[in-house]
Amino acid sequence: MPEDGEVKVGIIGCGGRMGRMLVQTVVAGQGVALGGGSETAASPLVGRDCAEVAGLMPAGLPITDDKRTLFAQIDVAIDFTVASVAAAHAGLAAETGTALVLGTTGLAPDQQAVVAQAASRVPIVQAPNFSLGVNLLLALTETVAATLDDGYDIEILEMHHRHKVDAPSGTALGLGQAAAKGRRQKLDAVAQKVRDGHTGPRPRGGIGFATLRGGDVVGEHTVMFAAEGETISLTHQARSRAVFAQGAVHAAAWCVGKPPALYSMRDVLAID
């Protein structure tokens, strides 16, 4: 924990919708302080005050495109950007000794390997979703999948706003991982992410995904266990991005001072 008791938090991509929400949440939080924010060099927001951009009183913290300098002057960075740069941010965290909270989804295996390597040097909290409700849903999904046999078909339905670029969502894939873990399977071996045309009967033991996009939906996820005669559904609906920001800032305060490792929100929330 920093000597003054306040954790300095930097927001990567602070000019986006989620970035602005994170800035607002840090400023309103206890035990945390805004340490700055960054944007890409091409962004017209570079040089503007990061708190003012988020609709708050100026904090004297101009948005920078120099992420290395930002990482060096904060205790923890929060990254909800895009997969193509997430690995580079993890590398910067390792080089500067800065903790990292990573909410970016859609990482390729080689990008995830970079994150895992960085976590051998600094604490990193990585999660497909930072809301308390979703992380309880992940735990419940694993438990139910472990309890029911493969006579119960598992289908995961998710819907997000029209601007989301990856599908299925990181949260949906996380739910698939939880279900596969409960059944002692590898998700890659049983996932069905695309169905089109004459697909034939559903294979026993598969985990299916369905993706919907439209409007301004923040995030809706349902895990269905469908058998002959009954269906069990577990559903979470996010009505505000604030739940993700609050969880991420909580994770940021939690991980500073922890030993280097790749942590999940289950670690942060002490969910068994």
The one-letter amino acid at 91: G
Residues 140-164 pLDDT 10s: 999 999 999 999 999 999 999 999 9
Regarding whether 176 and 45 lie in a shared domain, the answer is no
CATH number at residue 219: 3.30.360.10
- Tokens for 109, please give them: 């295996």
- Of 62, 85, 102, 234, the closest CA to residue 155 belongs to 234
Q: With bands split at pLDDT 50, 70 and 90, how would you rate the model's confidence at 3?
A: low
As a whole number of angstroms, the distance between CA 4 and CA 222 comes to 43
pLDDT for the residue numbered 165: 87
pLDDT tens digits along 170-198:
899 999 999 999 999 999 999 999 999 99
pLDDT score of 52 more than 90:
yes
Count how many domains the chain has.
2
pLDDT at position 128, please? 84
Identify whether 187 is part of a domain.
yes
Same domain, 203 and 97: no
In a domain, 154, yes or no: yes
Q: Which of 8, 67, 89, 160 is catalytic?
A: 160
Model confidence, pTM: 0.81
Question: Mean of the pLDDT values across residues 46-57?
Answer: 96
Same domain, 177 and 221: yes
Rounded CA gap, 128 and 252, in Å? 15
CATH number at residue 35: 3.40.50.720
Residue of 164, 181, 193, 258 marked catalytic:
164
> Stretch 109-124: mean pLDDT, rounded?
96
**110 shares a domain with 34:** yes
Q: What is the token pair recorded at 206?
A: 């598969």
Q: Which domain holds residue 107?
A: 7-126+241-269
Pick from 174, 167, 163, 166: which is nearest to 138 by CA? Answer: 174
Q: Using DSSP, how many helices (H) and how many strands (E) does the chain show? A: 10, 11
Give the H or E element holding residue 86.
Answer: helix 83-96
Residues 18 and 114 in one domain: yes
**Among residues of the chain, what percentage have pLDDT more than 70?**
99
Task: State the average pLDDT over residues 78-84.
Answer: 93
* Res. 241 pLDDT band, cuts 50 70 90: confident
Instruction: Quote the CA–CA distance of 250 and 265 in Å, as a whole number.
Output: 10
Q: Are residues 234 and 245 in the same domain?
A: no
Q: Residue 106 — very low, low, confident or very high, per pLDDT cuts 50/70/90?
A: confident
Same domain, yes or no: 19 and 93: yes
User: Are residues 248 and 225 part of one domain?
Assistant: no
Catalytic (active site) residue 160: yes
- Clarify whether residues 119 and 246 are in a common domain: yes
Does 173 reside within a domain?
yes
Domain-located, residue 232: yes
3-class DSSP state of 10: strand
- Same domain assignment for residues 85 and 40: yes
pLDDT in tens, 16-27: 999 999 999 999
- Confidence band (pLDDT; 50, 70, 90) for 71? very high
Task: Evaluate whether 135 touches 117 at the Cβ level (below 8 Å).
Answer: no
Verify whether residue 164 is a known catalytic residue: yes
Q: 247 and 118, same structural domain?
A: yes
Same domain, 212 and 261: no
> Considering the domain boundaries, does residue 2 fall inside one?
no
193 found inside a domain: yes
Stated length of the chain: 272
**Better pLDDT: 272 or 236:** 236
Task: Identify residue 94 by its one-letter amino acid code.
Answer: A
E-strand ranges in 88-173 read 99-102, 123-126, 153-160
Given pLDDT bands bounded at 50, 70 and 90, which one contains residue 114? very high
Give the separation between CA 154 and CA 226, rounded to whole angstroms.
7
Stretch 224-239: mean pLDDT: 96
Residue with tokens 């289908």: 155
How far is the first Cα of the chain from the last one, in angstroms, to the nearest whole number?
Answer: 25
Q: Please answer whether residues 231 and 101 qualify as being in contact, where contact means their C-beta atoms are separated by less than 8 angstroms.
A: no
Residues 6+ apart with CB under 8 A from 189: none
Domain membership flag for residue 99: yes
In a domain, 1, yes or no: no
